Amino acid sequence: MNRPSPPARPVARPADPGAARWRETLAGWAVAYRLKRAARFTPARLAVVVFAGIIVVVSVLLALPVSTAHGRGPAVVDAVFTATSAVCVTGLTTVDTATYWSPFGQLVIILGAAVGGLGIMTLASLLSFAVSRHVGLTQRMLAATENQSRLGDVVSLLRAVIITAVGAEAILMAALLPRFLALGLEPGEASWYAFFMALSIFNNAGFVIMPEGLAPYASDWWIGLPIVLGTFVGAVGFPVIHDVMRHGRRARLWTLHTKLTLTTYGVMTVVSSLTIAAFEWTNPSTYGPLPLGGKLLTALINGVNARSSGLSTITPEHMHEATWFLQDALMFIGGGSASTAGGIKVSTFAVLVLAIAAEARGDQDIEAFGRRITLSTVRLSVAVAFIGATVVGVSTLLLLQITHLSLDRVLFEVVSAFATVGLSTGITPLLPVSAKYVIVVLMFVGRVGTMTAATALALRERRRVIRMPAERPLIG
């Protein structure tokens, strides 16, 4: 019996290289189209994703054996924690930056801080400009909302951001290099220290590369004064710098945002410097052993470092609890909008104070420097402050449950992480792994959360045809 022959197998045709190239091209176009749409219509969400992506890249680089001084890969939690702290320009560390990481790892850390210091919305604007070759209307609205700038100024503002950052870091490096050389360091080592510290100071990153820390320089004005001035320039915000550079000393032409930021920041710097110095003047573990010049310099540094930079010539661990509580308030307020600083921002705090003052006087309008502040601005300030306080409160409760540490130390750590400051009472390396990941999330939320929430709320104003009857409930 004849068996039926098996069916012929189909002959495989060779792959068409032209079709494969077309598929790759179409896939590339699809990705580019999605990026362009995201940059145009959801830039805040895209910025958060990009910011998180940068943290992942820095984490992977720090996880390499070449990144550590001992040549072995670090623990995952240490790599992720350090990367997040760098990109979010915080400065909290689980391992010593100067001794644990190799020069390559230190370079990765400080470059991550330089990128993060540009700010999340600035990064979103640059990405949108690179993808679509122009800044779209939605992106201009978002950037103008954060930067308090006119729509036509956004592109020039981005240019000013790059020029200001590079220029300020170059000036700081030029100021620090001669001092490191005078201290007897080799030219290569002195240049590396000056480069690293210049980027850390301007970006308010809080990382220190000297093995002995900043304590030996508590009375060194050549080191301390650049820290004060560089922190101030980085913390007031790029819109303020742009406005001052454009109008010079003609303060009457400055925007209300610039006037509010500079006034509030200046007053708070003076008040905090004097108050912290009064609390710590006779403390044998902080101000006590310092000469008069060292005490004055330390007071100036403390007036700005609790707002954003985290660079300190004295150990916060040995400060009085009253000083910790004052610094909690200063860190929560933070620096200027669209700056390297964190917190709810000084302009938010200023609007809230002006609203309370107007209510106490019985004024119908909230006014400052000859301008009326809109009700929507006040509502937005209340929302940002409330969101920030809620994040701090929930995180404090969570860490208290995980660590069983005292409230004063936990609250200080939480506020420092949320406000991306980097000051610590010394408990960061001692935290359990789960608590360290809580701090990681807190640093990320503190850097991008309130800013993104403020932008989203500002653009969600709805017009209603029908309005309900007004009635005033009892308050207080």
Residue 15 forms part of a structural domain: no
Residue 5 forms part of a structural domain: no
Which CA distances in Å does 266 have to 67, 140, 146, 240, 300?
40, 30, 21, 13, 12
pLDDT (tens digit per residue) in 340-387: 888 889 999 999 999 999 999 988 889 989 899 988 889 888 988 998
- Number of domains, the chain: 1
Residue range(s) defining the domain that contains residue 440: 29-458
Residue 385 forms part of a structural domain: yes
Residue 187 forms part of a structural domain: yes
Residue 68 forms part of a structural domain: yes
Structure pTM?
0.84
Residue 298 forms part of a structural domain: yes
205 CB contacts (<8 Å, ≥6 apart)? 86, 89, 90, 91, 110, 113, 116, 117, 199, 309, 310, 340, 422
Which CA distances in Å does 248 have to 231, 237, 241?
20, 16, 10
Q: Check if the beta carbon of residue 313 is closer than 8 Å to that of residue 239.
A: no
User: Which residue has better confidence, 130 or 100?
Assistant: 100
pLDDT (tens digit per residue) in 408-448: 999 999 999 999 998 999 899 999 999 999 999 999 988 88
Which helix (H) or strand (E) is 208 found in, with range? none
Q: Check if the beta carbon of residue 100 is closer than 8 Å to that of residue 79.
A: no
- Residue 24 is predicted with a pLDDT of 63
CA distance 86 to 92: 9
Residue 223 forms part of a structural domain: yes
If we measure between CA atoms, which residue out of 451, 462, 307, 471 comes closest to residue 383? 451
Which CA distances in Å does 246 have to 150, 242, 255?
14, 6, 11
pLDDT (tens digit per residue) in 70-119: 989 899 999 999 999 999 999 999 999 999 999 999 999 999 999 888 76
CA distance 234 to 421: 13
How far is residue 162 CA from its own chain's centroid? 16
Residue 105 forms part of a structural domain: yes
Give yes or no for residue 396 having a pLDDT over 80.
Answer: yes
If we measure between CA atoms, which residue out of 315, 319, 343 comes closest to residue 416? 343
Give yes or no for residue 323 having a pLDDT over 80.
Answer: yes
Q: What is the mean pLDDT of the chain?
A: 83
CA distance 448 to 467: 34
* Helix ranges, 149-255 (H): 154-182, 187-202, 221-236, 238-247
Share of the chain above pLDDT 90, in %: 51
**Residue 35: half-sphere exposure toward Cβ, Cα within 13 Å:** 17
Which helix (H) or strand (E) is 371 found in, with range? strand 371-373
